[in-house]
Structure 1
Amino acid sequence: MKSKKFAVILAGSGVYDGSEIHEATLALYAISKNGGEYELFAPNTDQYHVINHLTGEEMNEKRNVLVEAARIARGNIKDVKEFDAANYDALLLPGGFGVAKNLCTFAFKGPDCDVNADVETAVKAMHAAEKPIGALCIAPALIAKILGTVEVTIGQDAGTAEAISSLGATHVNTTHGEIVFDKENKIVTTPCYMLDATIAQIGEGAENVVKTIMAL
C-alpha cells in the first residue's frame, strides 16, 4: 500500500510568535512512525512580531516566517505558494500563536480576522479535492474561518469556541488526546496546548489525528 503523503504548514518557530515546536515535531514524528511521509511549507512573509520566549516580551526586530520555520524543518521547507494539492493525500497544521498571528490575524481580530491568501488557497484546494485536513491547538479556528460550516475542537476555551461558532462552525468540547472528526468535510482536530497539557498528551493528540487521517 502506498504511504500517505502529508503537507504540513508551519507558522514560524516558537509558541508565542510561530508554530508550537512540540506540536509540530510530534505531528511529524506521528506521520513518520505510522508509515507516512511529509513535506513542510510556510509563508514567505514577516512575522507579526518577535517574542522573547524567556521573558514573554516583544523584541525590537523582524523575522521571516519561512526562515524561522526552517529551524523546525532542518532547512527542508518550501514557500506555501508552491503548494499543489494534487501532490498530497492530506494537509496538517500544528498550532502555536503564529497560526493566529502569521497565518491569520485571529489573535487580534477574532472572527473578523484576515487570512494569508496562500494558506487559504491551500486549505480550500485540499477541501475541494475531498482530501483530509488535520489541525491542532488553535489551528482549527483558522480552518473554521476559511471553510465556515465545519465541526472542530480547540478544547474547552469558551471565548475561542464562541468565536468559532460565530463563523458558522460547530465547536465540540474535548479534553487531552481527544479528537473531533468531521466525517463530511474530512477534518480532524484536537486541542493540544489549548489545554494545560504535558508533552506526552501533545504526542497522544497529534498521533490520534494522524492515525485517523491515515485510516481514511
Structure 2
Amino acid sequence: MSTKKVCVILAGCGVFDGAEIYESVFTLLALEKAGAIVTCVAPDVAQMHVINHATGEVAAGETRNVFVESARVARGNITPIADVKGSDFDAIIMPGGFGVAKNLSTFATQGAECSIHPEVERVLKEAYSAKKVLGAICIAPAVVARVFGDNNVKLTIGSDSATAEQISRTGANHIEARVTDVVVDNEHRIVTTPAYMLGQRMSEVKSGIDKLVQNVLELA
C-alpha cells in the first residue's frame, strides 16, 4: 500500500464543460485502492461557459464556478488550488474533460498558443522543480505540454492528429498510444494516458487510468 500524497486537479463537473466524471472517479478510486493520501483542488473561477449535457448546447445566460462544481466530484472535500504548493505532494494528477481545455487553460480556443490558469501553472511548475511526478489524462497532457514542452517532454493524448499537432507545436514529443496504454517519461517524471480521447468503453478507460496511477505511484 502506498502512503504517497497526491494532488488531483479538477476542472469542474461534466465532460463538456468541466472534469470528465468517469476519469475523475476512476483516478480517485485507483488512488484510494493504492492507499494514497489524496487532496482534490480546483481554481475558484467561473467556467468558460455552461453546456447542457442533454443537448450539447451552450446554456445561454447560465454561469457556474469551477471550484463549486469540482466539489460535486470530490463530495465536498476540496481545497482551493491557491492554498496548496505543488512541492508539498509526491505527485500531481489531472483528469481530463473539456474543462481542462476551457477552464484550466485556453487550449480549446488557442491550441499550442494557449495560456494556462496561473495557479494551475504554478502548482505544476512547483511539483516539476521539486522532481515530483505529474500524471495527465485525456486532454490534460496538452496543459503539461504547454507548460513543459520546451523540455521536450514525452506524452500522449492517443492518436488524434489535430490535437497531437498542437501538442508538437509546444515542443513536446507526442507519442501515439492506445486507450489502455500509458506513456512514461522517466526523465521528466511524467505519465500520460489517452482515456476518453480514444475510449469508447468505461472498462478500457479505467484500465489505462489504473496503469497511470500505478506508474505515477511507482515513480513517486
Fold shared, TM-score > 0.5 on shorter chain: yes
Partner of 1:139: 140
State the SS of the aligned residue for 2:120: helix
Equivalent in 148, 153, 157 of residue 156 of structure 2: 153
Q: What is the 5 A alignment of 1:34-53?
A: 34-53=34-53
State the SS of the aligned residue for 1:155: coil
Q: Distance in 2 between matches of 1:153 and 1:70?
A: 28
Residues 83-116 of structure 1 show CA distances to partners (whole Å, capped at 9, x for unaligned) of 1223211000000000000000101110111110
The amino acid that maps onto 2:97 is: G
State the SS of the aligned residue for 1:91: strand
Note the C-alpha offset of 1:196. Answer: 3.5
Partner of 2:190: 187
Note the C-alpha offset of 1:36. Answer: 1.2
State the SS of the aligned residue for 1:71: helix
Partner of 2:122: 121
- Unmatched runs of 5 consecutive residues or more in structure 2: none
Equivalent in 206, 211, 214 of residue 214 of structure 2: 211
CA RMSD of aligned residues (A): 1.0
Note the C-alpha offset of 1:2. Answer: 6.1
Partner of 2:101: 100
TM-score (norm 2): 0.96
Partner of 2:18: 18
4+ residue runs over 3 A deviation: none
State the SS of the aligned residue for 1:185: coil
TM-score (norm 1): 0.98
Partner of 1:71: 72
The amino acid that maps onto 1:136 is: I
Note the C-alpha offset of 1:37. Answer: 1.7
Q: Distance in 1 between matches of 2:129 and 2:199?
A: 34
Partner of 1:198: 201
State the SS of the aligned residue for 2:103: helix
- Unmatched runs of 5 consecutive residues or more in structure 1: none
